[in-house]
Amino acid sequence: MPYPLEWDTSTGKQKKLPALKVNPIRGVLPYDGYRNPLTRSSSASRVSMTVATAATKGQDKVYHFDGQREMAVGVEAMLSPELYGLEVQLPPIFYPYGKKKPNEHSFDLRITFRDGFRRAVFVRNGNSLASQKTQDEIRAVFEATPASFADDKIVVNGDHYTRAYRDNLLRVFGATKAVDEDADRHVLDRARSGHYWLMCELLAQCDIECERAFDAVLRHIGKGVITANWHAVISEYSRIWLA
């Protein structure tokens, strides 16, 4: 039933609540970030998920992300076979920026590769990155970051991670959690020897269950062996081709 126009259905100003805490999960390592971002927000969608890496010896661990973009950067990093470990909500870097008292900034992520190289990641939306104020702030943060914290530091424009791109990352990442080497070999053989334009045409040439073949295609897309348009929903009707 629609409300009369004079009714105010807004929730008004909400009382600030403490950050949500995730209770211990059996068999899953707890969250260990410097700060807990799971607070109420009108502009960001907080994300919590469990992920296993080589650093956790294959055991799932709880990760909290400030928003969808930060989560997408983390998931994209985890698709790389060179990734060793992932950290989020790092301890703050104190830097001078127009005040007597130093400001502080926590890098969104720190990625550790298998060769030990560590990369700190600063994620921000395109509008913010276009401002001189943000550029000055980034410069100050990077200059104040000690060499012991990371081997290099990068800025990522979160606008690159559109909704379709984020959904595809999660779908591909979900497929990588299952190991099916026989399906992967079979699908890749058909992809190299067959003729197709759409994914469904490749799936039709496979002699295994469609679900297994579909997940194998997703894994090959994640590895970059097969290519698709990441900014459109990847499905059986997607245009795909060998990289």
Going by C-alpha positions, the residue among 56, 146, 57 that lies closest to residue 107 is 146
Q: Report pLDDT digits (tens) over 96-144.
A: 877 678 889 999 999 999 999 999 999 999 999 999 999 999 999 999 9
pLDDT band for position 5 (cuts 50, 70, 90): low
Phi/psi for 111 (5° steps) reads -105, 130
Q: What is the predicted pLDDT for the residue at 44?
A: 67
Question: Residue 89 pLDDT more than 90?
Answer: yes
Who's near 103: CB < 8 A, 6+ residues apart? 94, 95, 96, 97, 137, 140
Q: What is the predicted pLDDT for the residue at 210?
A: 96
pTM reported for the whole predicted model: 0.86
Q: Report pLDDT digits (tens) over 42-84.
A: 666 889 999 999 999 999 999 999 999 999 999 999 999 999 9
Phi/psi for 63 (5° steps) reads -125, 135
Q: What is the predicted pLDDT for the residue at 43?
A: 62
Q: What is the predicted pLDDT for the residue at 18?
A: 81
Query: CA–CA separation, 85 vs 75, rounded Å?
Result: 12
